[in-house]
Structure 1
Amino acid sequence: MSAEQMSVGEMLAATVPMARTLRLEFLETTAERAVVRLPDQPEYHNHVGGPHAGAMFTLAESASGAIVIAAFGDQLHRAVPLAVTARIDYRKLAMGTLTATAALGRSVADVVAELDGGARPEFPVTVALTREDGAVTGEMTVVWTLRPNS
């Protein structure tokens, strides 16, 4: 299967070793929303029996990357997406399977217009981490940039 035929989730699983290691499941990847699931896996538990904070961070960051690729994949010939900063807040005890839902904080058109103008645009992606009962266990904001190719 060529890169053009792969879904965003398949591409990230193929190119990002941590996504494969944690067996992340890319459920939805569009320019409007990305939904990624971390199955409950005892080998990635913390001292209280839930997902380790590092696994939760990777889940949320992967969801943010999925929406960035879905939204700006057509710009990869001229710019590379890079995470600039990331902040995660742990809200409630996370247990069992977790789902990360990501949303862009700026419109695709605005970001591309800034890139067209010769700038290096930055834009936030917000991610909610939820348990199977719907409780929000964490929230992450990742600021991304599209760095123009030299």
Structure 2
Amino acid sequence: MHNHVGGPHAGVLFTLAESASGAAMLSVFGDQLERAVPLATSARVEYRKVAKGEVWAEARVLGTREEVVGTLDAGERPVFEVGVDVRNGDGEVVCVVNVTWTLRPHRR
């Protein structure tokens, strides 16, 4: 799973970040699953430096719960971002990923 320069492969870093974004999304909107399906629709990634050693991810929903749930309450499909920092063992940010999510209301 390592690349040609000895760090984790870019795909590994992206998969970690996308998974963390889903965990953050569910921590804020998990109670909405009975009425909507969460879907990642796009992602933007920025690799900043070669990661060495262990890596970990920290994700946060950008925007407010009130805006997203309010849009869903209005019968519309909310779109929101989740920002993720992937860090190495020293805490340095090695990769930044923004994942765009939507909550698609269940069809009746």
Decide: shared fold, TM above 0.5. yes
Report the counterpart of residue 60 of structure 2 in structure 1.
Answer: 103
Report the counterpart of residue 2 of structure 2 in structure 1.
Answer: 45
> Quick check: 1:62 aligned with 2:44?
no
> Which one scores higher on RCO, CA 8 angstroms, separation ≥ 6?
2
AA paired with 2:28? A
3-state SS of paired residue (1:123): strand
Cα deviation for residue 135 of structure 1 reads 1.1
Q: What TM-score comes out, normalization by structure 1 length? A: 0.70
Cα deviation for residue 67 of structure 1 reads 0.7
Instruction: For structure 2, list consecutive stretches of 5 or more residues without a partner in the other structure.
Output: none
CA deviation vs aligned residue, 1:15-49 (integer Å, no higher than 9, x gap): xxxxxxxxxxxxxxxxxxxxxxxxxxxxx111122
AA paired with 2:64? S
AA paired with 1:66? A
Number of aligned positions between the proteins? 107
Instruction: For structure 1, list consecutive stretches of 5 or more residues without a partner in the other structure.
Output: 1-43
In the alignment, the residues of structure 1 paired with residue 30 and residue 60 of structure 2 have an alpha-carbon distance, to the nearest angstrom, of 16
In the alignment, the residues of structure 2 paired with residue 60 and residue 85 of structure 1 have an alpha-carbon distance, to the nearest angstrom, of 13
3-state SS of paired residue (1:56): helix
* Shift >4 Å, 4+ stretches: none
User: CA-atom RMSD, angstroms?
Assistant: 0.7
